[in-house]
Amino acid sequence: MEAADRPEIDRLSDAAAPAADELAGDEQAAPPGTAAPVSAIDRMALLRAIAAQPTDYGFYVAARLIECAHPEHPRLGTSRRLREDPVRFSQEPGLDFATATLSSLEMRPSGGAPLLRVRFNGLFGANGPMPLHLTEFARDRMRNHGDRTLLRFTDMFQHRLFSMFYRAWAQAQPTVSHDRPGRDVFGQRVAAIAGHGMPSLQGRDRVPDVAKRAHAGLLAHSVRSAEGLARILSNFFRVPASVESWAPHWMKLPEEARTRLGDDSARLGVSAVIGARVWDVQSRFRVMIGPLSAADYERLLPDRDSLSVLRDWIRNYIGDELSCEVQLKLRRREVPSVRLGRSGKLGWTSWLGKRPPALHPDDADDLVLVVH
């Protein structure tokens, strides 16, 4: 891939990726597998921009932009008929070593697909498989006589060659494959690694499937560690996170496990237990999130959707074997004042009195929620 192609692809990927807030609040989103409609004016503007400065675009970038501008067409390299392709590829014959991958883009006056001429690979040229004298002949007929007969004949084969060449590159690019989410072949492969490649395993909870694919390396690992869970939560929520493997707590015993007089299953000093609870340090761990800003703290409270997403993330990574509690830590300087009837949620964002730094040097970490 040309070095000039990489920045363009990265910028296109960043611009095409919607923000998480937009995904959550977009009630009119297109169904999976469809792309936003592109107007004819936008398409013509794109084609004119490429035609005006073809050397500013790499082959992969130009082909990808044209493919994205025609979401109703099959992807380049996958069509069954020529008329289904939004662009035609042709090679500009020459014996020099080209400094750019594109030569020109020709708009068809009849309104047909534009013709994109390239300067690399292909049948002609110093690196082509055909004899050099055929390249000289094709170039001479084109330049001196305006005769493109040989070029048009070879274009019947070269268009498919260049289309397949682009498709071979695009299939290995996750961002390019995600341009059409419903037919994201690369994403499906990554999802299979993460354990949710089948359609029945997708969309099962509040965690977006694309986020699971982003952490496929951690989800595919057979060993689930505290560091792995902390990395996932920190990356997804963009907040500091850590995990304590042991969280001592009182565990309520089920009725059948409690000791009763006359029950011979309870042996004194072995299995007899006084009371309905036992002190347990093995079956629960703690996720500590923070220090947080006031906005991040409030979006992780039980009355917000983010806590449900957090719970689903923990269940996806850990499973149902262990219990989990979450400790939220609010920055000391952002602890709010409580005003009756105006602000403050009892037990969540309410602290009585003032918290001078001399008496409360640490961040507010009183809130602990059992989420799993």
Tell whether the model's pLDDT for residue 19 goes beyond 80.
no
In the chain, % of residues over pLDDT 70:
86
pLDDT band per the 50, 70, 90 thresholds, residue 28:
very low
Q: What pLDDT, on a 0 to 100 scale, did the predictor assign at position 184?
A: 84
Mean pLDDT, residues 341-351 taken together: 76
Q: Does 207 reside within a domain? A: yes
Closest by Cα among 8, 169, 193 to 77: 169
User: Do 158 and 201 share a domain, yes or no?
Assistant: no
The CATH number assigned to the domain holding 315 equals 3.30.300
pLDDT band per the 50, 70, 90 thresholds, residue 340:
confident
User: Do 88 and 204 share a domain, yes or no?
Assistant: no
Token couple for 109: 């006056």
User: Do 41 and 144 share a domain, yes or no?
Assistant: yes
Mean pLDDT, residues 306-321 taken together: 93
User: Do 136 and 191 share a domain, yes or no?
Assistant: no
Q: Confirm if 218 and 231 have CB atoms less than 8 A apart.
A: yes
Tell whether the model's pLDDT for residue 20 goes beyond 80.
no
The one-letter amino acid at 153: F
User: What DSSP line would sit under 119-133, residue for residue?
Assistant: -SSSSSSTTSSS-HH
Mean pLDDT, residues 114-121 taken together: 90
Q: Residue 285: beta bridge partners?
A: 324
Mean pLDDT, residues 51-57 taken together: 91
Q: Does 273 reside within a domain? A: no
d(CA 142, CA 119): 15
Residue 15, helix vs strand vs coil: helix
What domain range includes position 289? 224-246+282-370
Mean per-residue pLDDT over the chain, rounded:
83
Q: How many CB atoms lie within 10 A of CB 42?
A: 11
Q: Does 270 reside within a domain? A: no
d(CA 286, CA 246): 7
Q: Confirm if 230 and 241 have CB atoms less than 8 A apart.
A: yes
CA 244 vs. chain centroid, Å, equals 28
User: Do 17 and 124 share a domain, yes or no?
Assistant: yes
d(CA 61, CA 9): 6
Q: Does 256 reside within a domain? A: no
Q: Domain tally for the chain?
A: 3
Q: What pLDDT, on a 0 to 100 scale, did the predictor assign at position 359?
A: 60
Tokens 């982003």 correspond to 214
pLDDT band per the 50, 70, 90 thresholds, residue 17:
very low
Last-in-domain residue among 130, 164, 182: 182
User: Do 216 and 235 share a domain, yes or no?
Assistant: no
Q: Does 263 reside within a domain? A: no
Mean pLDDT, residues 56-72 taken together: 92
Q: Does 272 reside within a domain? A: no
pLDDT band per the 50, 70, 90 thresholds, residue 334:
confident
User: Do 169 and 35 share a domain, yes or no?
Assistant: yes
User: Do 76 and 137 share a domain, yes or no?
Assistant: yes
User: Do 61 and 208 share a domain, yes or no?
Assistant: no
User: Do 38 and 170 share a domain, yes or no?
Assistant: yes
pLDDT digits (tens, 9 = 90+) for 211-254: 999 999 999 988 999 999 999 999 999 999 999 999 999 988 88
User: Do 212 and 312 share a domain, yes or no?
Assistant: no
Tell whether the model's pLDDT for residue 125 goes beyond 50.
yes
Tell whether the model's pLDDT for residue 301 goes beyond 60.
yes
d(CA 328, CA 333): 15
Q: Report H helices in the chain.
A: 5-16, 20-25, 40-52, 59-68, 132-145, 149-170, 174-177, 185-194, 209-214, 216-219, 226-237, 294-299, 305-318
Q: What pLDDT, on a 0 to 100 scale, did the predictor assign at position 4?
A: 41
Q: What pLDDT, on a 0 to 100 scale, did the predictor assign at position 128?
A: 85
> CA-CA distances (angstroms) from residue 277 to 280, 283, 314?
9, 14, 25
Instruction: Compare 78 and 36 and report the one with higher pLDDT.
Output: 78
Q: Does 251 reside within a domain? A: no
User: Do 291 and 150 share a domain, yes or no?
Assistant: no
Weakest mean pLDDT among 27-36, 130-139, 360-369: 27-36
Q: Does 64 reside within a domain? A: yes
